[in-house]
Amino acid sequence: GMQGLRERVGDGGNRLVKALQSSDQYKENSRSFRRTVFCQDDWIKFRSSGRLYSNLGTMFTSGVIRGLWLEVGTVSLVSLGVYLANNAFAVIDTAQYGLPDDFKMVLPQIPFSLSSPALALLLVFRTNTVYARWNEATKAWGRVESASCNLARQGVAYLREDLRDEHVRRVIALGYTLVAHFWPCEEEAAGRVEGRLRELLGEKETKRLLASKHIPTQALSDITRVVRRCDAIDGSTKSRFDIHLDDLSNSLVTCERLLKTPVPLVYTRHAGRFLALWVLLLPFALAGELNSNFLMVPISTLVAVFFFGIEELGIQIEEPFSIMPLGDIVSNIDERLCQMITYDVTLGDQSIGPDAAPVAPG
């Protein structure tokens, strides 16, 4: 009897918890597939006239929509329940239950019409705010890439020959420490980063660096020490190095600020509550408008998909670093800087060949 019912309820609760955990795990794992890097062919495909059919064709395999099964499923069940209840009230004698003869579970449309602009404003403001965070993060990493290349270029040009290789290696190492710092949960990436640091710095130096309390700050300090050891350049030239080191430090601080300070939680929670109640109560308004036609179920479901999808987009990009291609950015820095030091060693101060064509005719 009651004991069996409790066990079934308990089993159902455990299955729901496991389903929620599985959904959360799927959403976290899928973030690594959003680290998009475009080339020219990708842009051509992106502008293709068939993008409408492509977007619709992948609608139900979309990671965002697949992650909304709980919210959308709840709205669908509420809508289906309202539909079944209203159709049942139409064929039974509601008077015997103390209800009016024409009783239906409906709500007027006016509250939804009045509140929809406020809901739209909340969603638009939140979406714009989180996009601005993502945009600021991409700009900060753009400055990391630019400052790293400029810093290495100046080192190759002005430092003593015996310090150039170490300088470039430490600039590359800084990029990998930033990846490890902003992708702390990526075990595979952490293994690749540590392996590359050993190649760049050696076993002992890598252990010392990784044992630091704040690894990127220590990596910046190590670059500064290399520049300080060079007595072949004057203070004015060293100050130019400091400009790029300051850019790297400022970019690091910007990224840490974005990581540690979300959009104010009071705003996020209020917008989420407003959205949830609005969408969950929508089937009652549609029941009155559509006279409890079954169309209310798919319409409610589609509205839930798109409205909750907008909120989910904001949640997904509010913390931008785990969906940014940081590994590709640092690999690009690594490739450029290795090319820089290789050309310096092999070509030196080689000038333009005597067979080069003149710039000016005649």
Using the structure block, give the residue that is written with the tokens 């945009």: 135
The answer to whether 324 touches 179, Cβ cutoff 8 Å, is: no
Percent of the chain with pLDDT over 90: 56
Q: pLDDT tens-digit profile of 75-112?
A: 999 999 999 998 888 878 777 767 777 788 889 999 99
Cα 232 from Cα 209, distance rounded (Å): 27
Which two three-digit tokens encode residue 170? Answer: 């430490």
Return the pLDDT at 221: 94
Cα gap 111→294, rounded to integer Å: 23
Residue 358: strand, helix, or coil: coil
Contact between residue 243 and residue 125 where contact means Cβ atoms under 8 Å apart: no
For 117-167, the pLDDT digits (tens) are 999 999 999 999 999 999 999 999 999 999 999 999 999 989 888 899 999
How does pLDDT run across 27-85, given as a tens digit for each residue?
A: 777 777 788 888 899 889 888 888 888 888 887 777 778 888 889 999 999 999 999 99
Confidence of residue 362 (pLDDT cuts 50, 70, 90): low
Side-chain-side CA neighbours of 253 within 13 Å: the count stands at 6
Q: How many CB atoms lie within 10 A of CB 222?
A: 22
Q: Each residue of 277-295: pLDDT tens digit?
A: 999 999 999 998 888 899 9
Query: What span, in angstroms and rounded, lies between the C-alpha atoms of 73 and 301?
Result: 8
Q: How many angstroms separate the CA atoms of 329 and 179, rounded?
A: 9
Average pLDDT of the chain is 87
Report CA dihedral (102, 106, 107, 109) to the nearest 10 degrees.
Answer: -100
Q: What is the pTM of this model?
A: 0.84
Torsion sign, CA atoms 47, 50, 53, 59: negative
